[in-house]
Structure formats: structure tokens, C-alpha cells
Amino acid sequence: MKATDILLILINFTGSLAVFLFAMKMMSEGLQKVAGSKMRAVLGKMTGHPLSGILTGTAVTAAIQSSSATTVMVVSFVNAGLLSLGGAVAVIMGANIGTTVTAWIITLLGLGGSSGYFDLPLLIAAASLAFFFMKRNKMHSIGQTIIGLALLLVGMRCLQNAMPDLGNYPSLLHGLASLSGYGFWSVILFVAIGAVLTCMVQASAATMAITLLMLHNGWIGLDVAIALVMGENIGTTITANLAAMVAGIAGKRAARAHLVFNVIGVTLTLILFHPILTMVKAVFPDNAPMALSLFHTMFNVMNVCVQSWFIPQIEWIVTHLVPEKKAAKGADKYRLTYISAGPVNTAELNLQSAQKEIQLFSKQVLRMYALLPELRTVRNAKEMDAEVERIARYEQLTDSMDMGLTKFLTAVGSGDISALSSERINAMLRISDNLESIGDSIYQIALTRKNKYSDAVHFSEKQNNNLAEMSALVENALMVMDGNLVDYGRTDRMTVEGIKAAEEAEREVNACRDRLRSEHLEAVKQGRYGYEVGNAYSSLYSQYEKLADFVINVSQSEQIVKID
């Protein structure tokens, strides 16, 4: 074989593979935009029992046509506390069944010898353009999905045409035959090759398509193709494990569970390799691609049927593979708790993790606010410095949380997402920014209290009572805000009662501020206290009111977010 021939084959094959991968990405993203948020809701509600988790994983993966997206989403959900580890294992098992739909689509629609093959994909693409250019977001997403399917079929035919006729290259044919001539060791070898190829391509659907084409063209036998498919099932687990690299302990365990499940499945299948091979050959004696698709489905269904009884044991294995790490005492560090970045585009499926992170952000702000009353009871300057430093560390944490959320949401928003998800991301960015501003305001109140203490400024009992009243009203507003953020994660739209409560809390703070300001101006006129006292007093109630403005901004941002 000449070097130019090899180069042309590689160029054609790489280009065809690029078309196929782009089509898979386009179809998956379209499906995510159509059903992504519903998939999040389904995963959050239907995984209390192993069977429901398996069925959920199957349905979600079949719907979005990406087992990688499902497993990365599961890692994020476990990390966010939305799924238990056992529930995640069940969903992952179901995802392995759901991914077999792709093989049947390729086999039934993507392989064939009709000279008019391109007519069907082009007809599908043309029909979908009406949907694609509609202004309605869902219709646009449906059109994108259909065009992705059409391009998938085109990509399959391009891949098929890019495959050279081995009859013209006897040396290559001899090389493949030699690799297949070591009996059971050849099976092990091709399992390893399938795993490595899938790790490299990062798309099990692509390696499955290549395997089907090689089998269809007679490059490899059914036994080798089955070995490659088993390896592909191991290789596809790399996606979730890469996503889990920045996840917490729970997320890492969910990713390892995917690997453990597939390794155990491949091991069991290797033991029964020849009986299974004989069975699928008997069902489709004259159609090797159909036999391979049947094996792919049988492999995953049988593994789920067997291993679903041992979910607690799988949990035990991954718990020992990823042990708990002891936190350093006194460490006051922060990193995103519920968000993990994955190597696949799951933008439509990532927002619930960000939502959970925002809820944690709110709790952090409440804990920070609860430290302010302690500033009134300090006994000396050293205690005051220690308390203010403690609040300062919290303020730094809120800065880090806002920075991490902003970076994550911006990255998600830069992907191919629906208009509704874009609206939600913008609202989440505003919420995060206002929560960070609340942290800044709390710190400023603490500094004002510190300066008052350093300057030996003493408030009257009435002033202290007024500030305590203002503080309590702001605390109530914060509690309402926090409650709305929790409701925001459970309902389609924040409740009318929630926004009414937030607005009422804001009105009460403003009314108190107006009363204190009026009383303060009158006291200044009458000379009841000096400049230092008046300045510190007015600064404090104004800062409390400013803090409440950021609080109502959060609730108003929540109100415009709709989760379908």
C-alpha cells in the first residue's frame, strides 16, 4: 500500500468520522433542549427503588441519545446530594441499556446498499428546516434533532464509503487475520483495543459505528466485533471518571460505579463468550450487524438483570475504592461543592447542580449574618478583632463562591442551549452577584461596628433597640429569600406567596429605615448626641437597608426563572 493511499484513506475516514460525531452532538443537544429539564426532574423523583432507577436511566439515555451525558449528569446529581449512591448505580445500569438504541438506529437505518441512500437523509433534513427556523424555541430544538439524525445517516454512509476494500490490500487483511488467530487471547486483545479506541474518541457511539461497518464490510468476524463492543463498554466509562476528577467523594464513587459495573459485566460475559456467540449467530445467521446489535442489547440487559441484585455490594466496592478523606482541622477553604465539569456538553442538564450551589450560597450568607450580633457582646479589642476576622473569612468565601458560580454558568451559557436555559442562567448570575453583595454588606456592617468600638462610641438604649429591630427585620427578609431559593428548586415557578412575603419583608425594612432616619434627623437638630455617635448610627441602619435591597433583588431574579 502506497503512502499516498494510506493518507487519502485517513483523510476520508477522519472527515467522515467528524461528520458522524458532529451529527451525534447536534442530535444529542437538540434532544437535551427538548427534554433536558424534564430529564432532570425525572432523575430527581424516580430513583427511590432500584427498578425505577434502572427504568429512569434507560428512558433518559434513550431520549437524549448519550450515555455519557447521562452518567456525567448522574455524577453531578450525586455530588449535589440529589441522588444516593445506590440510586446512581441503578440509573447507570439503565443508561447502559438505553445506549443500545444507538446501535439499532445505525444498524437499521445507517447500513445498506441502496444507490439512493442519500435521498432519505436529505428528505428528512429538508422537512425539518420548517421546524429549525421557527421562532418557537421547542420547535427549533425539534428541527435541530431531526437534522442531527439526518446528518448521522449521512455520516454513516460517508464512513462506509471511506472504508477501503481489503481485497485490494492483502497485507492489511493478513495483519487483521493474524491478530484474530490467537483464540481466546485474541478476544482479550480486542476487548483492550475497543476500550482504548473509545477512550481516545470519547464517544462509544462512534466506535460502535466503526465496529458495525468493519463487520458489515467483512474486515472482522462476529467474535472480534463482540470483543470490541465489550471493550467499548469499558472505554465509555472514562467520560464520567474525567467529570468526577473535580467532583466530591460522592461524585467520584458514582463514576467508579460505572467502571465497576462494566468491568464485572465484561468479565462475566467472557466466561460465557462462546455460548453467547453461538446464540446470537443462531438468531441472525445471515446478518452479522443485526447479530452484533442483538448482542449489545443482550449484554447490557443481562448484566443489569444479574448485577441489580448486588447494588449494595457495588456500593461497598466503590466506597473502598474512593475512601473518605479527613478534612484538615481549622481549614476554612471553599470549592464548588455540587458542580463538576465534564468533557461532554451537558449544558441543558447542568443547571440543577448550579441551583443547588446557589442554595448552599444562601445558607452561607445566613451563617455569616448570624455572626453580627456577637459583635455587640465582645469584651475587649482582641475579641472584636477575632470576630471581625471571622466575618472577613466568610466574606472571602462568598467571593470565591460567586467567582466559581459565575465561571461555571458562563461556560454553560456559551454552549448550545435553549432560550429558556439562557434566561435561567442570566437570572442565576444575578442571584449569585446579589448574594455576594450581601456578603460584602455584612462585612461593611462588621467594620462599622469595629470602628465604633475603636472610637469608644456608645449608643443609647433606644438606638441599640432600633438597630436590633432593623437587624431582626433584615434577618426575616434573608430567611424569606432562603426559603424562596429552596422552593425555586422544587416548583415550576416561585410561588406567589413567596414573592409576596419577600416584598412585604422589604417594605417593613424600608419603613423602619424611614422612621429611624426621621428620628435621627430630629435628634441631630436637637443636639441629643454628637457627630461620631450620629454618623455611626446612621451608617449602620443605612447599611442594613442596603443589604435588604440585595435580598429583594435575589427574590425578584428568582421570580422570572421558569423551570419547565
- CATH code for the domain in which residue 460 is found: 1.20.58.220
**Would 342 be classed as within a structural domain?**
no
Quick one: 306 and 367 in the same domain? no
**Would 344 be classed as within a structural domain?**
no
**What pLDDT tens digit does each residue of the chain (564 aa) get?**
567 766 776 787 788 777 777 776 777 667 666 655 555 555 555 555 778 888 888 877 776 666 776 777 777 677 666 677 888 888 889 888 988 887 887 787 766 544 345 455 555 665 666 555 555 566 667 777 777 767 766 776 776 666 665 555 555 545 555 676 677 888 898 899 888 888 877 677 778 888 888 888 777 889 889 999 999 889 888 877 776 776 668 778 888 998 999 999 999 999 988 899 899 989 988 888 899 999 999 999 999 999 999 999 999 999 999 887 643 333 344 556 666 544 444 555 567 778 878 888 999 899 999 999 888 888 888 888 899 999 998 898 899 889 888 888 888 777 667 677 788 888 889 999 999 999 999 999 999 988 888 877 788 889 899 999 999 999 999 999 988 887 544 444 456 777 888 889 999 999 999 999 999 898 888 888 888 888 888 999 999 999 999 999 988 886 554 444
**Would 391 be classed as within a structural domain?**
yes
Phi/psi for 181 (5° steps) reads -100, 20
**Would 545 be classed as within a structural domain?**
yes
**Would 501 be classed as within a structural domain?**
yes
Candidates 10, 213, 201; CA nearest to 103 is: 213
Quick one: 316 and 360 in the same domain? no
Quick one: 426 and 476 in the same domain? yes
Cα 158 to its chain centre, rounded Å, is: 33
Domain span including residue 129: 3-321
Cα 559 to its chain centre, rounded Å, is: 23
Quick one: 440 and 358 in the same domain? yes
**Would 214 be classed as within a structural domain?**
yes
**Would 343 be classed as within a structural domain?**
no
Quick one: 164 and 256 in the same domain? yes
Chosen domain end from 305, 321, 337: 321
What pLDDT score does 165 carry?
A: 57
Distance CA 267, CA 249 (A): 27
User: Quick one: three-class SS letters along 205-235?
Assistant: HHHHHHHHHHHHCCCCCHHHHHHHHHHHHHH
Quick one: 477 and 359 in the same domain? yes
Quick one: 460 and 357 in the same domain? yes
Quick one: 185 and 74 in the same domain? yes
Chosen domain end from 321, 339, 370: 321
Chosen domain end from 321, 339, 365: 321
Asked if 539 contacts 441 with a C-beta cutoff of 8 angstroms, the reply is: no
Asked if 73 contacts 79 with a C-beta cutoff of 8 angstroms, the reply is: no
Quick one: 307 and 407 in the same domain? no
Quick one: 140 and 187 in the same domain? yes
Q: In 277-381, where do the E strands start and end?
A: none
What pLDDT score does 12 carry?
A: 77
| Residue 204 identity | S
Q: In the numeric block, which cell numbers belong to residue 18?
A: 467528524
Asked if 202 contacts 343 with a C-beta cutoff of 8 angstroms, the reply is: yes
C-alpha distances (whole Å) from 510 to each of 477, 504, 541, 549 are: 11, 10, 10, 9
Quick one: 397 and 538 in the same domain? yes
Structural domain total, the chain: 2
What pLDDT score does 446 carry?
A: 92
Distance CA 426, CA 185 (A): 55
Quick one: 428 and 295 in the same domain? no
- Other C-beta atoms closer than 10 Å to the C-beta of 511 total 11
| Exposed / middle / buried, residue 290 (Cβ in 10 Å: 0-12, 13-18, 19+) | middle
pTM of the predicted model as reported, rounded to 2 decimal places: 0.62
**Would 236 be classed as within a structural domain?**
yes
* Helices and strands of the chain, counted as H and E runs: 22, 0
